[in-house]
Amino acid sequence: MFKKKPAYNVAIVGATGAVGSQMIEVLEERKFPVERLYPLASSRSASGTVSFRGQEVPVQVLTQDSFAGIDLALFSAGSDISKEFAPIAVQKGAIVIDNSAAWRMDPQVPLVVPEVNPHDLSRHQGLIANPNCSTIQMVVALKPLHDQVRIKRVVVTTFQSVSGTGREAMDELLDQSKALLNFQSPQPTVYPHRIAFNCLPHIDEFLASGYTKEEMKLVHETRKIMGDNSIQITATTVRVPVYIGHSESVNIETERALTANEARALLSAAPGVVVYDDPAHGLYPMPMDVVGKDEVYVGRIREDESIPNGLNLWIVADNLKKGAALNAVQIAELLVG
């Protein structure tokens, strides 16, 4: 499906954003065979250059004509841009890996986490969806447990960093923190309420059910990636004043019993997972420690004594990296590999 070449022309749509710039870094870091890089952005953001392999590459304005000769297009510029331009890119012959929510639940579009469902890639029709950050790190940790003892139910509460929203949100946390430390009262602009020194139980839009879209992504995307619609999931997603790194408190109920030690052994052997679980020595995953890391960190693994077969886990990952850019590049590696 992907015509084998020594190297590929790669477009990055949203190249100046928090995820887009990570995508460029990860392509370089992992020595992805890039023939030429095409950083693209909307007219609002298309200025300056991006650094790639020691060169400054000018950012171009995204247009309908941007995809001629492009082999691979990584999109991370929001759902509206993806809805409009991803089909154009595919029509021009590019394979698109889209980081927005636009196509994730489309039955025609594979939704892929390479450690979990690489086989789903084979049925792509030019467009592959990259899952939401909070879903990716959860399924990487849950898949090895599901394979062994079948997960019946998940109760997840997230602690999500502001970089998941984008650069402006990172600036807002910075500006608000500075203002508060200088006894000023900052007005929120990106978020509906202050994020500095606060917690917002509100990520993405609210639905009539009272859940947010972010919460329902954890439900629907997890089932699609795990290939099991019988997994019951309920989620509460919360924004916290952290720059990078999402944390998740995950309670699972399994069909068969699994001790905490057995879970540690399974997770230690699983691809893309680091078990970081020695609380007596102060070792547990924290957002500050996972910045720039490729793996999903799992700790605080405990048997849940409130039900017969239950476990609690604390799952932390770099939301820009494994939660977005790295996962997209890993998909690209599978395509060319």
Interface with a second copy, residue 286, by CB under 8 A:
yes
Q: Please report, for residues 110, 222, 225, the alpha-carbon distance to residue 104 in angstroms, rounded to integers and kept in the order given.
A: 7, 11, 10
| The length of the chain, given as a count of residues | 337
Interface with a second copy, residue 265, by CB under 8 A:
no
User: Which of these segments, 44-52, 72-80, 88-96, 209-217, binds a second copy (CB under 8 A)?
Assistant: 209-217
> Which residue among 6, 107, 282, 337 contacts a second copy (CB under 8 A)?
282
Residue 28 or 175 having the CB closest to a second copy? 175
Interface with a second copy, residue 186, by CB under 8 A:
no
Please enumerate in sequence order all residues whose Cβ is within 8 A of that of 320, keeping only pairs 6 or more positions apart, or say none.
Answer: 18, 19, 22, 133, 163, 244
Interface with a second copy, residue 206, by CB under 8 A:
yes
- Ranges assigned E (strand) in the chain: 8-13, 34-41, 49-52, 55-58, 60-61, 72-75, 95-98, 127-129, 151-160, 232-239, 246-254, 273-275, 296-303, 310-317
Question: Is 199 in the active site?
Answer: no
- CB 219 to a second copy: min, Å: 8
User: Which of these segments, 20-28, 85-93, 295-303, 323-331, binds a second copy (CB under 8 A)?
Assistant: 295-303
- Type of residue numbered 104: R
Interface with a second copy, residue 260, by CB under 8 A:
yes
Task: Give the residue carrying structure tokens 């171009």.
Answer: 60
User: Which of these segments, 14-22, 28-36, 222-230, 231-239, binds a second copy (CB under 8 A)?
Assistant: 231-239
Q: Please report, for residues 88, 113, 241, 278, 308, the alpha-carbon distance to residue 219 in angstroms, rounded to integers and kept in the order given.
A: 30, 15, 24, 30, 23
Catalytic residue among 124, 146, 202, 246: 246
- CB 227 to a second copy: min, Å: 18
Contact 73, 13 (CB under 8 A): yes
Interface with a second copy, residue 2, by CB under 8 A:
no
Interface with a second copy, residue 169, by CB under 8 A:
no
Question: Is 281 in the active site?
Answer: no
Interface with a second copy, residue 309, by CB under 8 A:
no
CA atoms of 12 and 136, how far apart (whole Å): 21
CB atoms within 10 A of CB 169: 20
Structure tokens at 233: 């999931």
The secondary structure of residue 323, as a DSSP letter, is I
Structure tokens at 47: 């200025």
Residue 88 or 180 having the CB closest to a second copy? 180
Q: Please report, for residues 114, 240, 264, 290, 321, the alpha-carbon distance to residue 296 in angstroms, rounded to integers and kept in the order given.
A: 13, 19, 13, 8, 10
> Which residue among 42, 79, 249, 309 contacts a second copy (CB under 8 A)?
249
Count residues binding a second copy (CB under 8 A).
Answer: 57
> Which residue among 79, 312, 334, 336 contacts a second copy (CB under 8 A)?
312
User: Which of these segments, 84-92, 109-117, 208-216, 319-327, binds a second copy (CB under 8 A)?
Assistant: 208-216
Contact 76, 164 (CB under 8 A): no
Interface with a second copy, residue 165, by CB under 8 A:
no
Catalytic residue among 119, 124, 133, 146: 133
Contact 23, 74 (CB under 8 A): yes
User: Which of these segments, 57-65, 108-116, 131-139, 240-248, binds a second copy (CB under 8 A)?
Assistant: 240-248
Structure tokens at 253: 């109920």
> Which residue among 267, 301, 317, 329 contacts a second copy (CB under 8 A)?
301
* Binding residues vs a second copy (CB under 8 A): 153-155, 157, 159, 173-174, 177-178, 181, 192-194, 197-202, 206, 209-212, 232-234, 236, 238, 240-243, 247, 249, 251, 260, 279-280, 282, 284-288, 299-307, 310, 312, 314
Which residues have a catalytic role annotated? Answer: 133, 246
